Amino acid sequence: MRDHIVLFGQGTGASIYFKLGWPPALVRISNFAARTGGLWCPLIPEEDAIEDAAAGTKTLDTSHGVRLVKFNDEPGALPGSGGTPSDVENGRFWEANGIELTSGVVANIDGEPFCIEAFRMTVPMVTAVHDGTNPSHTYFEDSSIDFIEAGISPNGKFILINETNDNMAYVGAITQPAGKTNYCRIYTFEDEGLVTATAAAAFATDDVVYILPRAYSQHPLITAAT
């Protein structure tokens, strides 16, 4: 299966959808006529994009951009025959098989050609937002995501990076809290061996975290939560 795909389109000024067959880790957009472009990855919120601005600088557009979607077509049918694709949040990336370019995104100019480059997600990375106890010192929770379904393992081989307070922790037990439908709670540890549980991780409501395999994380790591 291809890990990189190049697609072409003609701008309409309205939302445009592309079926990729898999969730992307990176999307690049180029408008030939206007010589502008954009960039999106799952670290960027849904329907946002980093865009070319004046004088060669780049800016984050929080009104227009790219989002993950799921085409609901029958196997072998033309893309879109199953109706308008469903929105997929970044944290549930595995459900996506395509993307949407929203109206107003830099390359989507009515009547002008553009190019899309999409790169398949080969290393799982889950974006999540804390909606559990505020503050929580021993666990992280996002009730909209099933972390087991997302492929996260509770064995210390995944790390959780808290973008909001710039700390990290190791992923331990993943549980399904009472009254929740997903395995959405991650108990966090200071060490990869899961010996010392965090006692002051300070996960606050709306804290944004990224979860990824330890084997593909940066070196050295940022400050560990305690």
Task: Pull the structure tokens for residue 97.
Answer: 């098989």
Instruction: Determine the distance from the C-alpha atom of residue 176 to the mean position of all C-alpha atoms in its chain, rounded to a whole number.
Output: 22
Residue 46, pLDDT above cutoff 60: yes
DSSP 183: -
CA distance 11 to 145: 34
Q: Scan for tokens 């006529």, then name that residue.
A: 33
In this prediction, residues 37-63 reach a mean pLDDT of 82
**Predicted structure pTM score:** 0.87
Q: Which tens digits make up the pLDDT trace of 146-168?
A: 999 999 999 999 999 999 999 99
Q: Are strands 208-213 and 185-189 parallel, antiparallel or unpaired?
A: unpaired
- Output the CA–CA distances (angstroms, integers) from residue 204 to 83, 128, 161, 210, 226, in the order listed: 39, 13, 14, 15, 15
Question: Which single residue is written with the structure tokens 């408008």?
Answer: 31
Confidence tier at 56 by pLDDT (50, 70, 90): low
C-alpha–C-alpha distance, residues 84 and 17, integer Å: 9
